[in-house]
Structure 1
Amino acid sequence: MTYEIEIGRGKRGRRAYSLDDIAIVPNRRTRDPKDVSVSWQIDAYQFSMPVIAAPMDSAMSPATAITLGKLGGLGVLDLEGLWTRYEDPQAILDEIGALQDETNSPAVTRRMQELYQAPIQPELITTRLAEMRDAGVTVAGSLTPQRTQEHYKTVVAAGVDIFVIRGTTVSAEHVSKDHEPLNLKQFIYELDVPVIVGGAAGYTPALHLMRTGAAGVLVGFGGGATTTTRRALGIHSPMASAISDVAAARRDYMDESGGRYVHVIADGGMGTSGDIVKAIAMGADAVMLGSALARAEEAPGKGWHWGQEAHHLELPRGDRVNVGTVGPLEEVLFGPGHHTNGTSNLIGALRRSMATTGYSDLKEFQRVDVVVSPYEGN
C-alpha cells in the first residue's frame, strides 16, 4: 500500500494530516470521568497530568513553573531567555507587552532582537533553577543545541532533574564544516539526568534520536501559534501524521532495543483542549503547551505570547501574538471552565473525552478509533 499521491508529473508526496483533520470516535463503552487516570511518568518522575510547559518567556517564569509543578505538571524554563539574561526581567517583559500592536511589525521584531542580545549569565541559570528546586517541584530547564555545550555543566551542577534540548528541528547527525557539532549520543550517555530532545517531524529522525538514549522525543516543527516557519522556510509538518509516525518509531525502537520505552511528546499547535485530546489519541504520551498556558493570569507575558523564533538575530520567523487571558492557571487546567472554545479546564476535557470513549488511562486511550474528517470551520 502506498500513501503517496501525485502532485504533478515530476513529483509525488505523502498525504499528511493536521489535528484539525481528524476526529475521535466513541465506542460501545463509556466511563465516569472520575474513574479516569491522566497521570504520566518519565524516568523516575511522576506527574498527575501529561502537561509540560514549553520553555517560552511569555508562558514560563520560575514562579509559574513552580505553580505548574505544584498542580501536577512540569514547567520547563528557557535557560536562554530573559530570566537568565536580566537580574529582574519584569521591566523587559512590560516593554515587550507595550510594543505597538501590529502583526508582522519590523519595529517589534527589531526591538525584541535588541532585548535578547543581552548576554546569558551563568550565575542566573544557577539562581533560577535553585529557586525552582527550593520550592520542591521537579526542576527542568531547556537549551538549544547551539548553546548546550556552552552551558550544560552549569545546568547540571545547579541540580536540574530533567534536561531539555529543544530546537525548531534537532537531528542526531548534524553536519558542519565550521565547528564540531554536539554529539547527542555521547552527551546523553555522559549525563546523569534524563534528556528530552526535539523537535522531530517524522519516523526516521525520531528513531535516530531515540537511539541516542533520549528519555523523550519532542514531536513538531514550527507548528505553534507564534511561528511563521511555514511562510519563511516553506517547512511544515502536520501534527497528526507527525505524532503517528514518531509513535511508530517508538514501537519499532522498543523491539530493536529489547523493550526500552521512549516517550513521545507532542510540541506545538495545541491551543485548545480538543487538540490535546487528539494528540494523545494519535500516540503522544504527553503534550508540551505554549499558547494554552500563556493565557493564564500567572503567565509572564500577560496575554502576549512569543517564542525564540520571534527574536532570531538573522532570520526571525515568529510573531509576538496576543492570545488573551483566560483565568488563573488552575482554572486553565482544571476549571471550572467559563469558556466554550476549549481554552479552559484542559484536563477536565481530556478526562471527559477518555471517559466518553471508554478508556481508563492514557496508554489505553492511544488505541482509540479516529477518522479523517476535515472541517472548514470549528
Structure 2
Amino acid sequence: MAQLIAEVSRTFNEFLLLPNRTRTDCSAATVDLSTPLSRYTADEAPAVELRSPFTSAIMQAVSTPDLAIALARNGGLSFLHHNQPVEDQAAAVRRVKNGAGAGPSEGDGRHPGRLVDAAGRLRVGAGINTHDYRERVPALLEAGVDALCFDSSDGYSDWQAQALTWVKKHHPEIPVGGGNVVDGEAFTFLAEAGADFVKVGVGGGSICITRDQKGIGRGQASAVLDVAAARDAFRERTGAYVPICSDGGLVHDYHVALALAMGADFVMMGRFFARFDQAAGAKVATRDGFVKEYWGEGSNRARNWQRYGQGGRELVFEEGVDGFVPYAGDLTEGLALTVAKLRTTMVSCGSTTLPEFRSTARLTLVSDQSFQESHANVDLRTTPATAS
C-alpha cells in the first residue's frame, strides 16, 4: 500500500508574513542580502557567497551570457544552460568572465553590488547533466566557471549521486549543486553524496507541466519548509551547512520573501528573467504591447537530448510548454524593484539579514476569503464621467 503523507501540499499563495517589531536600526538601507551559495562549516567559509539571493534558471530561454553579466553586476548569479556542445557552453562562460563588458571595466565603480571573483571578474555558473559530466566539467573549469549545478526535473536518483561523488572527488575545488527535490529525505541523499547546495521544486515552474503529465511534485511552500528542516538537521548532525535554493512557484514578488522566510538561502527564477532584454527569447509586438518568447527545457522546442536521452528526436511527451511572457525591459531596472520590495518586507518583519529573517519570521495560513481581501476592491477602470 502506498504511503500517504498527511500534510496538505501548500503553495506560497496560502501564506502571509506577520509583521514583527521594526527596530530603529532596521531600514531598507541597512538590509544585507548576502547569502551563501555553497556548503560551509564553522571553520570554513563558503566558496561562493551571493551579494543578492537571486539566480537565473538553467534554461535556453533565460540564462544567456548577456543576462549572466547583468545579473552578476546586480549581485546574483546565472547558470548557463548545458543543452549545447561543451565547447559552446565553455565559450559562453569565457564571454562572461573576460568579455562583453566584463573584466577590467568591473572596477570602475558603476556596479558597487557586483558579484566578482578574487581577480575582479564577474562570477558565472553553468548547468551540467548526468550524461557527459566527465568531459563537460573539466572544460567549464578551464573556462573559469565559478559554480556548477546538475539540472534534472527529479534529482533523487543514483545517477545524480554518482555524478556528484565523481565531481567532488576529481574537482573538489568547484561548488556543485544537486536537485531538484521536494522532501527532506531526498535532500539528505544528495547532501551526503557531496552536493554543495540543493535545488528545491518539482512541477511548480510557470512553464512546467510535470505534475499534469506525470502526477509528480509538491506545492512549493511545503517542499521548501520540509527541505529547510532537513538542512538544519543535517547541520546539527554533521556540522556542514548545505544551502537550499527555491526553484519554481514564484509568481509574485512577495513570493520571494516567503521562500526566503521559509528557509531558502536563495531563489532560482525562469519566467522572471525571461521577460528582460538580456534573455534569449525574441521580443514580439502584440496589440496590447510587447511580449518575449519563453519555452521550457522539457518542451519539444528545447530539444533537450541531455535530459531525456532522445538524441535530438521528438520527445515521447513534453514536461514543458512554449509560450510568451510580458516584456519588462532591462534586467537592472526590473530586478531593482523586486529587491526594493524584499528589503521593505524584511524591515516590516524586523530583520536586516537573511539568517535573521529566517529565524524570526512568523507565517500565517491564508483562507480563500482572506486571499480575496488582500486585493484591491474598487473599480480601477476609468474615472467616472461628470454628471450633466
TM range (shorter): 0.7 to 0.9
User: Tell me, which stretches of 5 or more residues in structure 2 are unaligned?
Assistant: 38-45, 103-120, 284-291, 305-314, 376-388
Of residues 16, 22, 25 in structure 2, which corresponds to 1:23?
A: 16
Question: In structure 2, the residue corresponding to 1:218 is in which secondary structure?
Answer: strand
* Contact 1:189/1:213 (8 A) holds in 2: no
* Contact 1:197/1:218 (8 A) holds in 2: yes
Residue in structure 1 matched with residue 149 of structure 2 by the alignment: 164
Residue in structure 1 matched with residue 270 of structure 2 by the alignment: 290
Q: What is the CA–CA distance in structure 2 between the aligned matches of 1:299 and 1:187, rounded to whole Å? A: 29
* 1:185 counterpart = 2:165: yes
Q: Deviations over 1:199-239 (max 9, x none)?
A: 01101000111112211100001210001111100112111
Of residues 122, 133, 140 in structure 2, which corresponds to 1:137?
A: 122
Equivalences for residues 194-273 of structure 1 within 5 A? 194-257=175-238, 259-273=239-253
Change in CA separation of 1:26 and 1:268 when aligned onto 2, cut-off 3 Å: same
Q: What is the CA–CA distance in structure 2 between the aligned matches of 1:270 and 1:50, rounded to whole Å? A: 14
Amino acid at match of 2:177: I
Amino acid at match of 2:185: T
RMSD: 2.2
Structure 1-normalised TM-score?
0.78
Please report how far the alpha carbon of residue 32 of structure 1 lies from its aligned counterpart in structure 2 after TM superposition: 1.8
* 1:35 counterpart = 2:30: yes
Of residues 354, 371, 379 in structure 2, which corresponds to 1:362?
A: 354
Amino acid at match of 2:73: K
Question: In structure 2, the residue corresponding to 1:145 is in which secondary structure?
Answer: coil
* 1:54 counterpart = 2:57: yes
Residue in structure 2 matched with residue 304 of structure 1 by the alignment: 293
Question: In structure 2, the residue corresponding to 1:304 is in which secondary structure?
Answer: strand
* Contact 1:219/1:265 (8 A) holds in 2: yes
* Contact 2:164/2:176 (8 A) holds in 1: no
* Contact 1:20/1:374 (8 A) holds in 2: no
Change in CA separation of 1:147 and 1:21 when aligned onto 2, cut-off 3 Å: farther
Structure 2-normalised TM-score?
0.77
Q: What is the CA–CA distance in structure 2 between the aligned matches of 1:244 and 1:189, rounded to whole Å? A: 31
Paired residues, what number? 316
Residue in structure 2 matched with residue 73 of structure 1 by the alignment: 76
Please report how far the alpha carbon of residue 321 of structure 1 lies from its aligned counterpart in structure 2 after TM superposition: 2.1
Moved more, 241-250 or 296-305: 296-305
Change in CA separation of 1:23 and 1:214 when aligned onto 2, cut-off 3 Å: same
Which structure: larger Rg? 2
* Contact 1:296/1:329 (8 A) holds in 2: yes
Residue in structure 2 matched with residue 281 of structure 1 by the alignment: 261
Residue in structure 1 matched with residue 344 of structure 2 by the alignment: 352
Question: In structure 1, the residue corresponding to 2:131 is in which secondary structure?
Answer: helix
Amino acid at match of 2:147: I
